[in-house]
Structure 1
Amino acid sequence: MTNVLLLCSKHVRTICHLLSAPAISRRLGIPEPHIAWEPRYNVPPGIWIPVVWRPDPEEEIQLGEMWWGYRPRWAKEGSPQPTNAKAEAVATSRYFQAAFRKHRCLVPADG
């Protein structure tokens, strides 16, 4: 499975003391990742961003990175990678329904 993420267009990650990898790891009781997060004031789609996720139901929660973008496996290479989905259609849209049902994560962000 490719680690991808779908969010609305842009967000800010300033990494205050509450959003640092050590703080999140301590709060959730999970191992700290071997990555350093730098503050970013413009976090657009198409980059790696920090997330909290559970790869499989049997696995532990992890703190790591995912690629911000999404394309279903059945979609052709080069097809659009949307960054928004309508709340009223995301559960039923052919494009998003599998990801919405099975693949969710938390994105540490403060703006």
Structure 2
Amino acid sequence: MCGCYSLTTPRDTLRKDLAPWLANSSSSTWLSHYAPRAEIHPGEPVLALREHQRHTDVTHFLWGFLASWVKDPWRGPRPINARAETIAEKPSFRSAWRHHRCLLPSDGFYEKGQRIHRCNGEPFWLAGLWDHWIGPDGSEVETCCVITTRANALVRPLHTRMPVIVPNGLEEAWLEEGDATHLHALESLLNPWDPHDWCVSQAPRMASRTNPNQLQLF
């Protein structure tokens, strides 16, 4: 599974990494709220890339998936992960799989006190799903979850599941809406990724879980 990850990339570096999409972003406020975070937990705002209204958008979601058709958000689970093997059929996720895929920038994720990351420290994309919920009183929230797959040889000693990683250069292909043929082509990205050039290290101890400025987004 994926229950905690990091994004410690400096603001200026992240801005350069996201430059191709910031020009088309309907919201530039994310940058003023961004601060490097060594631990990102469920229930917190997370930075994300998604396709919305025919263009790719940099935005924030609340981590903990809430399907648009849910009547009472306080009842039932708010999944933080979606299994790659069942997202195309499971009622909670199948619509989001077809229309609302997203990418979460990260530079590491955690299992059993260990941090899994690229050996060169570069960030990568966690594959996710998102949805937009509107309550009876008009309140709105956009939420997401991380897609998981079977663990590879690197992660398997720590857990049987791990997040799906979308390779650089395939961002638009992952995000864009498409027909059944397009979705079928994306299924290969749901397989366990090659652990070459990835490392496991002892996770650091952190004193704070949340940046207060980021919570103000919701």
Normalising by structure 2, we get a TM-score of: 0.42
- Give the gaps of 5 or more residues in structure 2: 109-218
- Counterpart Cα distance in 2 of 1:12 and 1:19: 15
Paired-residue identity, %: 26
Q: In structure 2, do the counterparts of structure 1 residues 61 and 80 end up closer, same or farther at CA, with 3 Å as the change threshold? A: same
Distance 1:25 1:84, change over 3 A: closer
Looking at structure 2, the residues matched to 99 and 93 of structure 1 have their Cα atoms a distance apart, in angstroms, of 10
Partner SS state of residue 98, structure 1: helix
Contiguous gaps of at least 5 residues in structure 1: 1-6
Instruction: Tell me which amino acid in the other structure corresponds to 1:30.
Output: L
Count residues with an aligned counterpart: 101
Structure-2 separation of matches of 1:71 and 1:23? 31
1:17-96 map, 5 Å: 20=14, 22-26=15-19, 28-31=20-23, 33-35=28-30, 36=32, 37-56=34-53, 58=54, 60-75=55-70, 76-78=72-74, 79-96=76-93
Letter of the 2:46 counterpart: I
**SS of residue in 2 equivalent to 1:91:** coil
Say whether the 8 Å CA contact 1:70–1:83 is kept in structure 2.
yes
CA distance in 2, matches of 1:73, 1:17: 32
1:12 equivalent to 2:6? Answer yes
Relative contact order (C-alpha < 8 Å, sep 6+): which is higher?
A: 1
